[in-house]
Structure 1
Amino acid sequence: MEEKQFIRHLPRASVLTLKDQISYQEGQIASKTLAQNKNVSLTLFAFDKDEEISSHQSTGDAMIQVLEGKARIMVGKEFFEVSEGESILMPHDVDHAVYALEPMKMCLTVVFPYER
């Protein structure tokens, strides 16, 4: 019987550095989905400099943890510079966007409304 994994693509029971689990791709945004279901999404991203995810909304609350580099993040009508080791919460149903001021890696966690 195969063991069910809720978080994928990471070594099990190992100490790791999250930013080393994804690599930059020149002129692109690389992503690696670690978990995805109706309640939560956990994804690593590596942005090349000047790459962006344009303004959009989510039905869940989204939290970005910057693992390396620096980003300009729009939440509503405000802009924030978020650097390595810092995080920002983007509330559900509010426009938000991410722009890499330099090569940048982040972990995105989105928690969706609980449905029974």
Structure 2
Amino acid sequence: MRDVSSIDFSDVPGTRGAQIKWLISPKDGAPNFAMRLIRIEADGEIPKHSHPWEHEIFILKGSGRIRVNETVYEVSEGNAILVPPDVPHEYHADTEMLFLCLIPNSGVPPEYR
């Protein structure tokens, strides 16, 4: 168990107004998946990108759009979305968005292993 209020958000490079907080990672003994909390300020964005691992996203707060390949999803609190591996995706927040993002440990940077 961990009190996540003691973990600081850090800026996500190459984005506008996005920050990340690593809640659970291999450093914590997680053998398969990492859990991250991502915050995007109103009118912020994470530009289009792709990588060889999937994401599972759960929107905790706010609203915006998530593009997965060529499909744009209007998302808000309580929505869940799968981003498959190797598929271009991007995020745009209409209001401040807060969401959980789970990834396999193969996508975790070395500093969180």
The answer, yes or no, to whether TM exceeds 0.5 is yes
Report the Cα distance in structure 2 between the residues aligned to 1:80 and 1:99, rounded to whole angstroms: 10
Aligned letter for 1:73? I
Equivalence for 1:61: 54
Residues 22 and 72 of structure 1: is their aligned pair in 2 closer, same or farther, counting only changes over 3 Å? Answer: farther
TM-score, normalised via structure 2 length: 0.71
Letter of the 2:22 counterpart: T
The structure with more radius of gyration: 1
Contact 1:59 1:112 in 2 (8 A): no
Name the structure where helix makes up a greater proportion of residues.
Answer: 2
The structure with the largest strand share of the pair is 2
Q: How many angstroms apart in 2 are the aligned matches of 1:79 and 1:57? A: 15
Count of paired positions = 95
- Provide structure 2 residue ranges, at least 5 long, that are not aligned to the other structure: 107-113
Report how far residue 22 of structure 1 moved: 7.8
Sequence identity (%): 28
Distance in structure 1 (CA, Å) of the matches to 2:91 and 2:69 = 12
Q: Write out the 4+ residue segments of structure 1 that deviate beyond 4 Å after TM superposition.
A: none
Superposed CA offset, 1:52-91 (max 9, x none): 1111112111111000011200000110011101110010
Shift of 1:40: 2.4
Question: Could you give the per-residue CA deviations for residues 21-70 of structure 1, whole angstroms, max 9, x where no partner exists?
Answer: 888x9x72221011234842311011110111111112111111000011
Contact 1:22–1:44 at 8 Å: present in 2 too? no
Contact 1:60/1:110, CA 8 A, preserved across alignment:
yes
CA distance in 2, matches of 1:22, 1:103: 17
Q: 1:45 is matched by which residue type in structure 2?
A: I
